[in-house]
Structure 1
C-alpha cells in the first residue's frame, strides 16, 4: 500500500472535520415549525430573527431551538366552584399559537416549555373567574356559548403582551354532582311538560274560538236570510222554479188547479 503524500493527509483530515462540522451545523425545520438561535458565545437567545421551514446552517457553537408555530390545542379538566359554592368539573380545550415574529422573545422570557408556564395558569384563573359567576343550572344548560366567550376574553387579557395568541376556547363538558344534575334534569323535564301543556291549552282555545266565530257567522247569515224572505219573494222563486221545470224536455207537465199560496201543481214528471 502506497503512503499518502504528506500534503494529502492534512487535506483529508480537514475534509473529515468539515463534514463533521456541517453535520453538526445543519438543521432542518419542518412544516409548521419555527426556529430561534441560542448563541452560546453571545447573549443566549437571539430575539431578532425567527427561522422558517427548510434547511439551515448554524455555527457549530450555536444551537437552533425548533418549536411549533402553527395553531395547537391543549385540553384540561379543572375543578372550579359555581356562584353558590358547589364544585363543578369543567373539561375544556383551548387553541393557541405563538407569535411567529416574537418566538425568540417568548422562549427567552418564558422558556421552551412556555405552554405550561403561560397557558395553564391563565386557563385555570379564567375558568375559576367565569364559572364562579353562574349557577350549576346555567352551566349545565343554556350558558355554554357565553361562558366560552367569557373565558376566551379573560385568557386573552391575562396573556396580553406575552407573545402567545389564544384563538378559541371550547367547553366540552360540565360535570355536576349527581344529586344536583338529577335535580336539574327533573326541573327541566317539568318545565318542558308545562310548556307543552300550555301550548295544548292555547291551541284548544284558538280552535274553540274559531268554531264560535264560524257558528256566529252562520247564525247571522240565516237571520239575515230569514228576514229578507217575504211571502212575495218566496212566491216569485216558486214560479221561477215551476217555469224551469216545465221547460225540461224530460218532463211531461200537467197543471190542474192551484196549490197553497196560489202556486201551480205539476203532475206526471218522468
Structure 2
C-alpha cells in the first residue's frame, strides 16, 4: 500500500495538467521544441520539468493603433485604427515558430507599411468621405499578402477616427456649406419656376376661354340674348328708358312709379 501511494505521489510530482478553454489553442513545448499538435478544448497532461503549455487565443481579437498616415498631397493625418484578426487554428505552431509570441508587433509594423502605401494614393479629404471603405479594403488586402501565409487572418481594418489638419478640415466644412447653400438656392429657383409656369398656364387658360367665348357669340346668339333681355325688362314694374338698335338693349334710365 505504501509503495502504491509513493508511486502515485511520484507521478503527481512529475506531471501537471493544463485546461484549454473554448476560444483557446494549447500547444506543448517540450525542451524548447514546439509540438505540432494543437488542442482547442479540454486538458493537456504534461511534465512540468521538461514541458510547458503555451496558450493562444483563436477568437477574433481587436488590435488598436493610433498613428499618423500620409496623404497624396503630403499631409499627415492622425487616425485611430482597429484591426480585427484571428489565428488560424492549425497554424498556431507556425505563428509561434516563425513570428513568436509578439506577433502583434509584427502586425503593427505590417499595417504601418500597408497604410503608408495605400493612403499615399488618396487625398486627405478622401479619408473623411465615402472612399474610406475603399482605403480600408486596400489596406486589408495589402496586409493579407504578408500575414495570411503566416497563419494570421485579417478580418477587417476599421478607420474609426480620422483627424484632418485644421486648415483642410475648415476648407471641407466651407465647401460642404457652399454645396448646401447651392442646393437650397436651386430649390428656391425651382419653386419660382414652377410658380411662373402655373401663372402662365392660368393666363393661357383664361385667354383661351375668352377666345372660345368670343368665337361663340355669333349674331344669332346675340339676337337671342337680346330678346331674353327685353323679356326680363318687361317683367319689371318700374318704368325704363331704353335706346336700342333692335339688336342689343341699353338701359339708360330707370324711374320708379
In the alignment, what sits opposite 1:30? Answer: 21
Write the distance in 1 (CA, Å) between the matches of 2:69 and 2:30.
43
Write the distance in 2 (CA, Å) between the matches of 1:38 and 1:142.
48
Q: 2:118 aligns with which of 125, 130, 154?
A: 130
In the alignment, what sits opposite 1:230? Answer: 218
Q: Where do residues 211-250 of structure 1 align in structure 2 (5 Å cutoff)?
A: 211-234=199-222
Structure 1 range deviating more: 220-229 or 85-94: 220-229
Q: 1:40 aligns with which of 31, 40, 44?
A: 31
Q: Where do residues 187-206 of structure 1 align in structure 2 (5 Å cutoff)?
A: 187-206=175-194
- TM-score, normalising length: structure 2: 0.81
How far has the Cα of 1:214 moved from its partner? 3.0
Unaligned runs of 5+ in 2: 250-257
Q: Does 1:81 align with 2:81?
A: no
How far has the Cα of 1:262 moved from its partner? 8.2
Q: 2:165 aligns with which of 165, 177, 184?
A: 177
- TM-score, normalising length: structure 1: 0.78
Write the distance in 2 (CA, Å) between the matches of 1:238 and 1:153.
93
List structure 1 runs of 4+ shifted beyond 6 angstroms. Answer: 237-243
Query: What secondary structure, in the 3-state scheme, does the structure 2 residue paired with 1:137 have?
Result: helix
Unaligned runs of 5+ in 1: 1-7, 246-252, 264-270
Q: Does 1:94 align with 2:87?
A: no
Q: Does 1:110 align with 2:110?
A: no
Q: Does 1:64 align with 2:57?
A: no
CA offsets 1:112-135 (integer angstroms, 9 cap, x no match): 222222x11121112111211122
| Native 8 Å contact 2:125 2:172 kept in 1 | yes
In the alignment, what sits opposite 2:252? Answer: none
Structure 1 range deviating more: 160-169 or 222-231: 222-231
Write the distance in 1 (CA, Å) between the matches of 2:230 and 2:131.
79
Structure 1 range deviating more: 77-86 or 192-201: 192-201
How far has the Cα of 1:160 moved from its partner? 3.5
Computed over aligned residues only, the root mean square deviation of the Cα atoms, in angstroms, reads 3.0
In the alignment, what sits opposite 2:7? Answer: 14
